[in-house]
Amino acid sequence: MAIAPNTTFVANTVLTAAQQNAFGFGIVALGTNAVASSAVSVETLSVTSNSFTAIANRYYKITYFEPTLIYGTGTTSYVDMNIRITNIVGTLKQNANVKLSSADRNTGTV
């Protein structure tokens, strides 16, 4: 389904339910985690979000932000950040790969 933008409204016309339904929903659910993670070597669940029932034919934007990625040991570290649906083995929706070296202290956004 293509994104259907709303119409331009004109004075003295009727506002319809279809036009109302074309407005964005804003924030539908929010999940946060303020606890720092320790070093991990396998995929680990960082944030679980509130569940919600998606409406058919609607788009939802999912944003994940990792404020700090710190280099551990070795010569080069790669960090994969994944957004999955349902759980840690759920469908992979987005992936970002960040390369860290001993001089790096990076942030990452998926």
Place of tokens 């080069």: 76
pLDDT tens for each residue of the chain, 110 residues long = 556 677 778 889 898 888 888 888 888 888 888 887 777 777 888 777 678 888 888 888 888 887 777 766 666 677 888 888 888 888 888 888 887 766 555 555 54
- How many domains does the chain contain in total? 1
Residue 8 in any domain: the answer is no
pLDDT of residue 7: 74
Residue 9 in any domain: the answer is no
Residue 12 in any domain: the answer is no
Which domain range does residue 83 map to?
A: 17-109
Cα 58 to Cα 2: distance, rounded to the nearest angstrom: 10
Residue 5 in any domain: the answer is no
pTM recorded for the entire structure: 0.60
